[in-house]
């Protein structure tokens, strides 16, 4: 297992970590298998989505904010319950097949770390399995 350190700069943002993950796959020397990206945080997540148009990331965050607003009526005392709900809906892991030493992402796809309660220093765990 290896890690990628991430420093978010906003309360909510989607940070493209594709090149960092790809470098871990390359360094592993594994030609065929799986790359598991795991976020060990309760107010963050990971997703794979379009990388060509940054408006997609804005649309995703704006839609999540409409569906799950920051609301003082949540019971959780820290004031970040919306972040916990968003993390649960987006999910905390993604698995990408590896072929010929490369992740098999689609041409427009990228891996995004989703920050829902920043800014913070975070990390993502990467597990590369041969097979």
pLDDT of residue 126: 98
| Closest to 26 measured CA to CA, from 102, 126, 112, 111 | 102
Mean pLDDT, residues 105-109 taken together: 97
* pLDDT of res. 55: 96
Could you name the CATH architecture of 2-130?
Sandwich (2.60)
Dihedral, CA atoms, 14, 16, 20, 21, nearest 10 degrees?
A: 80
Say how far apart CA 57 and CA 66 lie, in whole Å: 14
pLDDT at 72 over 80: no
Q: What is the pLDDT of residues 7-64, one digit of tens each?
A: 999 999 999 999 999 999 999 999 999 999 999 999 999 999 999 999 999 999 999 9
pLDDT number for residue 73: 87
Q: Cα angle at 55 between 57 and 44, to 5 degrees?
A: 10
């Amino acid at each position: 297992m290896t890690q990628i350190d991430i420093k978010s700069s906003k309360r909510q943002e989607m940070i493209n970590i594709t090149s960092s993950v790809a470098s871990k796959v390359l360094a592993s020397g594994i030609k065929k298998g799986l790359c598991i990206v795991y976020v060990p945080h309760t107010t963050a997540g990971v997703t794979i989505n379009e990388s060509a148009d940054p408006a997609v990331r804005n649309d995703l965050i704006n839609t999540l904010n409409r569906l799950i607003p920051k609301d003082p009526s949540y019971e959780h005392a820290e004031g970040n319950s919306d972040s916990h709900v968003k993390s649960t809906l987006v999910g905390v892991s993604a698995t990408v097949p590896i072929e010929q030493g490369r992740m098999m992402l689609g041409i427009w796809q990228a891996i995004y770390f989703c920050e829902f309660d920043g800014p913070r220093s975070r990390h993502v765990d990467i597990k590369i399995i041969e097979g």
